[in-house]
Amino acid sequence: GRGNYRHFMEKELHEHPVVIGDVLSRMIDPASRSVMLWDLPFDLATLPRATISACGSAFYAGLVGRVWLETIARLPTDADVASEFRYRAPPLPSEGLGLLVSQSGETADTLAALRYMQDEGQHVLSVVNVPESSMARESDAVLETLAGPEIGVASTKAFTAQLTVLACFALAAGRARGTLDAAREALLTQALMEVPGQAAEILSEETTAAIGRVAERIAEARDVLYLGRGSCFPVALEGALKLKEISYIHAEGYAAGEMKHGPIALIDRHVPVVAIAPSGPLFEKTASNLQEAAARGGQVIVFSDAAGAEKLKGIAAATVVLPTCDPFVAPILHTIAVQMLAYRVALLKGTDVDQPRNLAKSVTVE
Ligand code: M6R
């Protein structure tokens, strides 16, 4: 049951700290602060390329995974939505890695992508939440998210569990490929081990109240833009998808640097711009994109840590301060915040949060 929570989605949002902690306890050795290498039926060191395919939120988790595999393991990585990938039918290098991401393990297009990858001679690895699913059965290896049953149609804890698994996998790949030294691995595993506590801070009264205040602005809007860069660009996509799904407000996620190539024409004082702007190497670039939006009258709503929030206070119409973290884990923390934002907007709108119109939890037909 959903206990004292109003919706399964709310209950599942509050499970983030435990679910992420569970993934980490299976994948990280806290004593040596290193990722535990598990037996895989292929060699991470010699993979020529990884190809990621998935649908919906799972695809966005894959997009974050791509950034991590490229930056941490220097593994060339491609990612495409499964419904396009399966018919694009791209040639794949022999002995490459096919990586599928799915909560249910039953999504028809993702399963077809898996089979195509097998036909193309890929080693197939699936990140799935349901261990006895079709994808789990048909893969060469499985990384289980084990987030528990997710009842809300809008994915929450399964998504952050996917991110956490992919983060650990990227560390393992970096170690195997010699692109991640022990000191950096210790730093990044430490950053991951702090995430459950930081997730709990985001779910605290204080932060959810700040998110609730932002929700009041968003609930009034007809259109909302979400902006992010780098590993937080997919978080912008996830935030926009979640808002569309459960509040029925039109929202789009964009790479912040793309604004000036078109979307900025949409901006006026009626269009909130939700900025996923953690401190890190891309902060200054994001800040200047936000400046451009603010200069056109956009209401910029900043999600950042204390240092980033301070730098953006001159242009922010509202701010949600999230815990200070290593940029590596920022997409995980920011995801929790934007999912909570969508939930709070849906509450104000009075929509059917757990069973949004026109949507099914598992899309087993094409
Ligand atoms: O079961 P899957 O992870 O394969 O499902 C993929 C998508 O259908 C799913 O993530 C969908 O986008 C959710 N409703 C997102 O909240």
Q: What's the pLDDT score for residue 362?
A: 86
pLDDT, one tens digit per residue, over 234-244 is 999 999 999 99
> Ligand 1 pocket check: which of 57, 60, 130, 336 to mutate, most ligand atoms within 8 Å of Cβ?
57
pLDDT, one tens digit per residue, over 151-167 is 888 999 999 999 999 99
For 40, list phi and psi in degrees, rounded to 5.
-120, 145
Alpha helices in the chain (DSSP H): 8-13, 16-27, 56-73, 82-88, 108-119, 134-138, 157-177, 182-193, 195-202, 205-219, 233-247, 283-295, 306-311, 330-349
Over 90: is that where the pLDDT of 222 sits?
A: yes
Residue 349 in tokens: 């709108």
- Average pLDDT in the chain: 96
pLDDT, one tens digit per residue, over 190-213 is 999 999 999 999 999 999 999 999
Amino acid at 325: C
Residue 272 in tokens: 């909130």
The predicted model scores a pTM of: 0.97
Give distance in angstroms: CA of 116 to centre of ligand 1.
Answer: 20
pLDDT, one tens digit per residue, over 89-105 is 999 999 999 999 999 99
Q: What's the pLDDT score for residue 348?
A: 97
Over 80: is that where the pLDDT of 112 sits?
A: yes
Residue 254 in tokens: 């964009």
For 15, list phi and psi in degrees, rounded to 5.
-85, -5
Give distance in angstroms: CA of 58 to centre of ligand 1.
Answer: 6
Give distance in angstroms: CA of 312 to centre of ligand 1.
Answer: 33
Q: What's the pLDDT score for residue 365?
A: 85
Q: Is 18 helix (H, G, I), strand (E, B) or coil?
A: helix
Closest Cα to atom 11 of ligand 1 = 56
Closest Cα to atom 12 of ligand 1 = 56
* Closest atom of ligand 1 to CA, residue 158: 3
Nearest in space to 74 (alpha carbons), one of 191, 176, 212: 176
> Ligand 1 pocket check: which of 55, 111, 159 to mutate, most ligand atoms within 8 Å of Cβ?
55
Give distance in angstroms: CA of 145 to centre of ligand 1.
Answer: 14
Give distance in angstroms: CA of 34 to centre of ligand 1.
Answer: 31
DSSP conformational letter for 79: E
Which residues are marked as active site? 361
Average pLDDT of span 256-275: 94
List residues bridging with 143 in a β-sheet.
127
Over 90: is that where the pLDDT of 37 sits?
A: no
Q: Which residues line ligand 1 (CB under 6 A)?
A: 55-58, 102-104, 107, 110, 153-155, 245, 359, 362-363
> Does the interface ipTM go beyond 0.95?
yes
